[in-house]
Amino acid sequence: MSAAIEAVVMPKWGLAMQEGMLAAWLVEEGETIAKGQEIAEIETSKIANVFESPAAGLLRRRVAAAGETLPVGALLAVLAPESVSEAEIDRFVADFRERFAAALASGATEAAPEPRTVEAGGRRIRYLEVGAGEGPPVVFVHGFGGDLSSWTLNQEALAAAHRTLALDLPGHGGSDKALATGSLEELAAAVAAFLEALAIPRAHLVGHSLGGAVAMRLALDRPAAVASLTLVAPAGFGAEIESGYLEGFLREKRARKLRPVLEMLVRDPAGISREMVEEVLRYKRLDGVPEALSRIVEACFAGGRQRIDLRPRIGELPMPVQLLWGREDRILPVRHAEGLPETVTVTILEDCGHLAHMEKAAECNAAIARILTRA
Amino acid sequence: MPKKSFREAVNEALRQEMERDPTVILMGEDVAGGMGAPGEDDAWGGPLGVTKGLMPRFGRERVLDTPISESAFVGAAVGAAATGLRPVAELMFVDFMGVCFDQIFNQAAKFRYMFGGKATTPLVVRTMYGAGFRAASQHSQCLYNIFTHIPGLKVAIPSNAYEAKGLLIQAIRDDDPVMFFEHKAMYDEEAEVPDEPYTIPFGEANVAREGEDVTVVALGRMVNFANEAADRLEGEGISCTVVDLRTTSPLDRETVLETAEETGRVVVVDEAHPRCSMAADIAALIAQEAFDALRAPVRMVTAPHAPVPFSPALEDLYIPGPDRIVEAVREVHGYGRG
């Protein structure tokens, strides 16, 4: 009978995730759940998110309690038909735990890949490379104030079949912090230098927000180097930007004050984890970071308006181009995705804010996978 | 991110600031070691090896082994600071500061005021404090409260390796004299510490965890104990906010009062003796400014009003540990609930 019992385990959302905190159950024991149904809320060091059931069945037991922090792969719940006895479920849980404990003890869980650095264009650029595959690699470019870990929910999914690289823009993450002007051109040139330093003649670019504008600037400057372009809520498609976000991000030095600012990024404020707030604070304390961020704001978003305008030129791009945008984006309004040439595929994501690649990671990953096959 | 010990974090902060700014120098007893004697140079790197490796890198002109005379070398450091250098003096044990009271309290702390703002004294005095090292009553005190009392001094008390590096770099770049407290039992404790230089501003307490029932205000090593206590209390259904003061001067009154008002139940944890302590200071602040929000008397968890004992068994009892914090939180939490 035990073949009919299924384990629901702590998911692995992204490269860095080693453990997750079960914040809340959304289903009760005795409910029949569908595959893809939202069954729990899970918090990681990066983001809190809803967990969609990987399987369908009758929820017989919630093994993990709300508030528990468990390693990836640990047992959360048991699905089984009514015919399975409680005793059988007890045995299944005990067996599973024993095997899992043994696997943990033997170190069978793999270590997260480590970022590396490369000298590019006179700067030290940090990047994380994962996966291998035929054809041009996928290169991820984060947004203002972000870093390569912004893509933690996307990189691994795509690395299953592709070589993927996520870099830290100058002024960000573990890359050198100095910026001459903070202009889009300077940032795009830095990404171009990075690709040259790693001898990557052609890549699929995926950029978020300011990183979307950087990727598009690079695609305009060097169309032959860009195989496809995925822009997630990119800058450069309208004048409006939530200036309160930029100002607050620069100004706030305490977690309690910074949190409401970061909450503007997502539709569900609970999605901003304590660790994420702490990481941003730690980043902002690094030497050179306040200056770099101020320069970028001055060059690209002075006076609370976008000073970069890429919209008129999107039709010139010869490679496949798509835009992904959260319907409820509070930083860059979703209407910036309207009125574009038909050659550009636009996907609007419902119930989603500015961090579409995190909030709707599965949809974004599927869209990126699709454009890779078109190029 | 790389894990580093408290010792490595302090060493890295000193090294990076010495690289960045040629006016930063180190002074103290055996900060290199081996001065004037045959045998190994850089034999010590301070009594617990914190400054090891800095003399070979920067030379004896910038890493000065001094005579065993705190009044002389702390005075020299104050003068060097007033005349253009940024000295980091190591006062081996804070217990020894009695012999350099005048240099610190009357000179360094007062220059900016006495000279009408025309003089600055960018001095850092690093010093070891705290019990638990089996070093008896003359090498185990806290005494940060005494420096906090003096206008013109800043006082930083980091609670882990990350905090230590950021607060020390801030201290070195600060134009006022800063007393920097390192707990001798914490040097091997590790935390994630960025390789790059960074600063943690003074006067901004860190809310190390957020809870709903009781606010625990702590500093230095006591922050670890408060977090440990809070972990245990979580299992009993009591959730705690833990505030790490980071600096006692300047003091982040805003965060202390805000977090005290949120729960109305406060425990202050301080490794020092209770009289005229930081615990008493914080408790008074809350009683005066947040009285209406209080739902229980503020409880202080401190060492007793007694010298630190040499007997290991007694010393262990002397240090305010997680058990006593748990007890105090339970009491404050239950107060008035019948």
Using pLDDT thresholds of 50, 70 and 90, give the confidence band for residue A340: very high
Beta carbons within 10 angstroms of residue A24's beta carbon: 13
* Under 8 Å between Cβ of A210 and A130: no
Q: Report yes or no on A47 lying in a domain.
A: yes
- DSSP assignment of B19-36 equals HH-TTEEEEETTSS--TT
Residue at B199 is within a domain = no
A255–B197 C-beta distance less than 8 A: no
Claim to verify: residue A76 and residue A205 sit in the same structural domain: no
CATH number, domain with residue B182: 3.40.50.970
CA-closest candidate to residue B203, choices B159, B244, B234, B146: B244
Q: Looking at beta carbons, which residues of chain B come within 8 Å of A254?
A: 204, 207, 255
Give the tens place of pLDDT for each residue, A173-200: 999 999 999 999 999 999 999 999 999 9
Classify residue B197: in a domain, yes or no: no
At residue A2, the pLDDT reads 47
| B123 burial via Cβ count (<10 Å: 0-12, 13-18, 19+) | buried
- Is A44 within the bounds of a domain? yes
Indicate whether A108 pLDDT > 70.
no
Question: Domain containing A166: what range?
Answer: 116-374
- In angstroms, the separation between the Cα of residue B288 and the nearest Cα of chain A is 24
User: Does residue A288 share a domain with residue A165?
Assistant: yes
Q: Quick one: A286 and A319 in the same domain?
A: yes
Instruction: Examine the domain organization and report whether B155 and B211 are in the same domain.
Output: no
Residue B198 lies in a domain: no
CA gap B34, B77 in Å, rounded:
21
Distance CA A272, CA A255 (A): 12
Q: Which of A175, A279, A285 should be substituted to probe chain B, the one whose Cβ sees the most B Cβ atoms within 10 Å?
A: A285
Question: Would you say B311 and B140 are in contact if contact means Cβ atoms under 8 Å apart?
Answer: no
pLDDT band at A109 (very low <50, low <70, confident <90, very high): low
Number of structural domains chain B divides into: 2
Residue A269 has pLDDT above 60, yes or no: yes
Would residue B200 count as lying in a domain?
no
Of B166, B207, B255, the CB nearest to A285: B166
What is the tally of structural domains in chain A?
2
Residues A127 and A96 in one domain: no
Q: How far is B269 from chain A (nearest CA, A)?
A: 22
Domain termination site, one of B192, B224, B256: B192
Nearest-Cα distance to chain B for A189, in Å, is: 24
In a domain, A111, yes or no: no
Please report which confidence band the pLDDT of residue A17 belongs to, taking 50, 70 and 90 as the band edges.
confident
Q: How far apart are CA B77 and CA B28, in angstroms?
A: 10
CATH code at position A333: 3.40.50.1820
- For residues A311 and A215, membership in a common domain is answered with yes
Selecting from B196, B255, B258 the residue whose C-beta is nearest the C-beta of A287 gives B196
Same domain, yes or no: B145 and B37: yes
Q: Which two tokens stand for residue B101?
A: 């009271």
- Of A174, A256, A285, Cβ closest to residue B198: A285
- pLDDT score recorded for residue B36: 76
CATH number at residue A51: 2.40.50.100
Query: What is the per-residue pLDDT for A110?
Result: 60
Query: Is residue A83 located within the same domain as residue A219?
Result: no
Look at B197 and A287 and tell me if their CB atoms are within 8 Å.
yes
pLDDT tens-digit map of A351-373: 999 999 999 999 999 999 999 98
Please identify, among A72, A106, A140, the residue that sits at the C-terminal boundary of a domain: A106
B186 & B249 share domain = no
Which residue of chain A is at minimal alpha-carbon distance from B16? A287
User: Which is more confidently placed, B323 or A106?
Assistant: B323
Asked if residue B102 is part of any domain, the answer here is yes
HSE value, Cβ hemisphere, 13 Å, CA-based, for B260: 28
- pLDDT value for A1: 43
Domain boundary (A63, A81, A106) is at: A106
Is B218 domain-assigned? yes
What is the per-residue pLDDT for A350? Answer: 97
The residue among A319 and A38 whose pLDDT is bigger is: A319
A255 interfacial to chain B (CB closer than 8 Å): yes
- Please tell me if residue A285 touches chain B, with a CB cutoff of 8 Å: yes
* A71 lies in the same domain as A124: no
DSSP class per residue in B222-285: HHHHHHHHHHHHHTTT--EEEEE-SEEES--HHHHHHHHHHHS-EEEE-SS-STTSHHHHHHHH
* Among the partner residues B194, B201, B207, nearest to A253 by beta-carbon distance: B201
Query: Could you say which residues of chain B have pLDDT below 70?
Result: 338
Same-domain check for residues B53 and B125: yes
* In a shared domain, residues A253 and A171: yes
- Set B139, B183, B273, B333: catalytic member: B139
Task: Decide if pLDDT at A67 tops 90.
Answer: no
Region of B314 on the Ramachandran plot (φ > 0 left; ψ -120 to 50 alpha; else beta): alpha
Which of B180, B189, B276 shows the shortest CA–CA distance to B225?
B189
- What the block records as the tokens of B225 is 């104990």
Encoding tokens for residue B25? 């120098």
Q: Which domain holds residue B271?
A: 206-334
**What chain A residue is nearest to B17 in terms of C-alpha separation?**
A287
Same domain, A205 and A344: yes
Residues A135 and A266 in one domain: yes
Look at strands A203-208 and A138-141 and give their pairing: parallel
Cβ neighbours of residue A187 under 8 Å, at least 6 residues apart? A169, A170, A210, A214, A217, A296
Do B20 and B120 share a domain, yes or no? yes
Residues B154 and B81 in one domain: yes
- Report CA A203 to chain centroid distance, whole Å: 19
Are B222 and B106 contained in the same domain?
no
The answer on B102 and B57 residing in a single domain is yes
Is B139 a residue of the active site? Answer: yes
CB contact under 8 A, A287 and B204: no
Question: B112 and B217 in one domain?
Answer: no
A79 and A35 housed in the same domain = yes
For residue B246, the domain's CATH number is: 3.40.50.920
Q: Where are the alpha helices (DSSP H) in chain B?
A: 6-20, 54-58, 70-82, 101, 111-114, 144-148, 161-173, 221-234, 253-263, 278-289, 312-318, 322-334
**A66 and A143 together in one domain:** no
* pLDDT beyond 60 at A20: yes
Nearest CA distance, A319 vs chain B (angstrom)? 37
Q: Kindly state whether residues B138 and B226 are assigned to the same domain.
A: no
Task: Look at residues A80, A106, A132 and tell me which one is the last residue of a structural domain.
Answer: A106
B247 with B136, same domain?
no
What are the structure tokens assigned to A109, written together? Answer: 């869980």
Q: Check whether residue B87 and residue B164 sit in a common domain.
A: yes
Smallest CA-to-CA distance from B13 within B155, B190, B174, B167 is with B167
Counting beta carbons within 10 angstroms of the beta carbon of residue A112, is it exposed (0 to 12), middle (13 to 18) or buried (19 or more)?
A: middle
Q: How far is CA B69 from CA A11, A195, B218, B292, in A?
A: 61, 59, 33, 51
